[in-house]
Amino acid sequence: MPEPPAPNTPPSEVEPGRPWGDESEAVRLALEWAAQRVVRPTDPKSTARPASELAAAAGRTITAEGVGAEAALKIFDDILIPATRAQDDPMNLAYIPAAPTRAAVAFDTVTSSANVFGGLWESGAGAIFAENEALGWLVELLGWPAGAGGCFVAGGTLGNLSALFAAREAALARRGGRHPDGRWQLVCTTGAHSSIRSAAQVLDAEVVLVDEDWRGHLTGPALAAALRRSRAVFAVVASAGTTNAGVVDDLADIADVCGDAGVWLHVDGAYGGAALAAPSVRPLFAGIERADSFIVDPHKWLFAPYDCCALLYRDPALARPAHAQRASYLDAVDREVWNPTDLALHLTRRARGLPFWFSLATHGTDRYTAAIEQTLATAREVAEAIRESPHLRLVAEPELSIVLFERPGWDTRDYAAWSRQLARDGVILCLPTLWRGTTVLRLAFVNPATRADHVVEVLEETTAATP
């Protein structure tokens, strides 16, 4: 048996059929690093660095000959990862962080190594079946009928765009192929996620903004008034947990109005939809069972790794005419089976729902409910401590797990200075935001490992004086 070529043998000398030489050492090093990272704690002081600093530290990494697996991994471990914020740090409470289970993170490696094409049943039947099992749990939480389903896409932006494109095509079909007078319109509030406005731009649609009530909710009466003013609305977007404040719109009243008007109701639950699994807040979602489409990001509050958005349709048959791609090389595709490529704006896709499925199958849904309830309890405990603090003020009662508060006497510069300093010190990540035109601080709890007493201690110790 001939000796394997050296790892960095020039291509002209590589044995035919083995263009990459012997990759066993690269595989071993990468998998050992991954195994250690799954179980070892994250570094809360990891943070972004300027590109010039990274270039100076890493040197030139892409060369004709390659630097070798050991050198490449050392650059990654010593330079690149320390410049990458740890999303699962329990004190990372900015934006919407991520706290995947260790099982899900580990299985992401399995998913990648299996190299599954998850677009067509023909090529990915087993993986798609497992993904559909995970989606089926979400369908049950929604209270939707048998036959409802969808697929996993990269994130909420693509999920919202895909759902709204299907809604517009369905509206066009109902009109017999006739466009409305003027541009298509979609309705939402200012609290809707920024991706809704992006989707409207892509679809060349006009966004009709409806005023929120004093709680920050889209309500049925306000929606009904907006729909009376236009006949070009193809969809209404309601929020099941806004990103900024965790507000759940009045879904039951909204569903009534959409039903009477014959307008598609899309519910964006990218962050908050996970709380459907929590009995303590499930009543907030009454009416969601009548939505036409829905998204939730398992990589946010359902403990899956990036990137993973579940896109669901009450009636998937309404989505397929919009999304199924046609070409001579796709003529042989069996359209009677479940092809995820027919349900969103994609063709090629990895089976990104498998880590979520594996964790669900491993731990069971009761553990998921308990973990979500734990984060809700943490948010309530921190909110109560802020309410009782002599120098902090709670600015809104949390509906889910986002807490908005202010430090009376501080201005925008004080908030920014406080936030930057604690981030640099690796103490806590808490960023300012705007609430009703005023700068406030915002905490987003999605990690069941976050302890309320730790958060409260930091807030009390660091906000007593002006930065």
3-class SS letters over 148-216: CEEEEECCHHHHHHHHHHHHHHHHHHHCCCCCCCCCCEEEECCCCCHHHHHHHHHCCCEEEECCCCCCC
For residue 428, give both structure tokens: 């806590």
**Helix, strand or coil, per DSSP, at residue 248:** strand
Instruction: Please report the pLDDT score of residue 258 as a whole number.
Output: 98
Instruction: Please report the pLDDT score of residue 1 as a whole number.
Output: 40
Instruction: Please report the pLDDT score of residue 4 as a whole number.
Output: 42
425, HSE (Cβ side, Cα atoms, 13 Å)? 11
Task: Look up residue 240 and give its DSSP letter.
Answer: B
Instruction: Please report the pLDDT score of residue 285 as a whole number.
Output: 98
For residue 346, give both structure tokens: 């994609």
73, HSE (Cβ side, Cα atoms, 13 Å)? 14
Task: Look up residue 4 and give its DSSP letter.
Answer: P
Q: Quick count: other Cβ atoms within 10 Å of Cβ 193? A: 21
Give the angle subtended at the CA of 18 by the CAs of 17 and 19, to the nearest 5°.
105
Task: Look up residue 371 and give its DSSP letter.
Answer: H
Give me the DSSP letters along 62-109.
--SS---HHHHHHHIIIIIGGGS--TT-TTB-SSS-----HHHHHHHH
- For 371, counting Cβ atoms within 10 Å of its Cβ (0-12 exposed, 13-18 middle, 19+ buried), the class is buried
* Identity of the amino acid at 403: V
Give the angle subtended at the CA of 382 by the CAs of 377 and 387, to the nearest 5°.
125
Instruction: Please report the pLDDT score of residue 2 as a whole number.
Output: 39
Long-range contacts of 69-77 (CB under 8 A, 24+ apart): 69/7, 69/23, 69/25, 69/26, 69/29, 69/30, 70/25, 70/29, 73/29, 73/30, 73/33, 76/33, 77/33
As annotated, the residues of the chain forming the CATH 3.40.640.10 domain(s) are 105-365
Instruction: Please report the pLDDT score of residue 3 as a whole number.
Output: 45
Give the CATH number of domain 366-462; options: 3.30.360.10, 3.40.640.10, 3.90.1150.170, 3.40.50.970: 3.90.1150.170
First to last CA, the chain: 70
For residue 302, give both structure tokens: 């359902």
The sheet carrying 402-406 orders its strands as: 393-394, 402-406, 438-444, 431-435
424, HSE (Cβ side, Cα atoms, 13 Å)? 7
pLDDT in tens, 402-455: 999 999 999 999 999 999 999 988 899 999 999 999 999 999 999 999 999 999
Instruction: Please report the pLDDT score of residue 5 as a whole number.
Output: 43
Nearest to 324 by CA among 119, 173, 20: 119
Note the Cα 37 to chain centre separation in Å. Answer: 22
Residue 352 vs residues 108, 119, 164, 297, 337: alpha-carbon distances, Å: 8, 11, 22, 12, 19
CATH class of the region 105-365: alpha beta
Instruction: Please report the pLDDT score of residue 21 as a whole number.
Output: 85
The bridge status of strand 233-239 relative to strand 185-188 is parallel
pLDDT in tens, 267-307: 999 999 999 999 999 999 999 999 999 999 999 999 999 99
Peptide bond into 253 cis (omega under 30): no
Q: Do 153 and 319 form a contact (C-beta atoms < 8 A)?
A: no
As annotated, the residues of the chain forming the CATH 3.90.1150.170 domain(s) are 366-462
Average pLDDT of each block of 10 consecutive residues along the chain (467 residues)? 47 71 92 90 79 93 92 94 90 95 96 95 96 98 97 98 98 88 92 96 96 93 94 96 97 98 97 98 98 98 97 98 92 90 96 98 98 98 97 96 97 96 92 95 98 97 84
